[in-house]
Amino acid sequence: MTLKPNDVRNMTEDEINNKIASLREELFKLRFEQKAGRVEKPHRIEQARREIARCYTILAEKKNEKK
């Protein structure tokens, strides 16, 4: 399931950081499976990358709001 920007905006900074960590771990596993040639959902790699970027963008927005 893809993350919606509003869902991420409703999270705290710690929750976003935890989500980024889990997405990065998932991306690592997907890349590993891709190299082994047995990835079942190759589109999930691109989705994970976009979700990570979305989380980082919203995290930056939250930090800029505090300033």
Domain ranges of the chain: 5-66
- According to the CATH classification, is domain 5-66 in 3.10.580.10? no
What is the DSSP secondary structure assignment for residue 11, as one 8-state letter?
Answer: S
> How far is 45 from 47, CA to CA, in rounded Å?
5
Q: Give yes or no for a contact between 9 and 58, defined as CB atoms under 8 angstroms apart.
A: yes
Maximum distance among all alpha carbons in the chain? Answer: 46
- Over 90: is that where the pLDDT of 3 sits? no
pTM of the shown model: 0.89
pLDDT of res. 20: 97
6-59 pLDDT, tens digit per residue, is 999 999 999 999 999 999 999 999 999 999 999 888 999 999 999 999 999 999
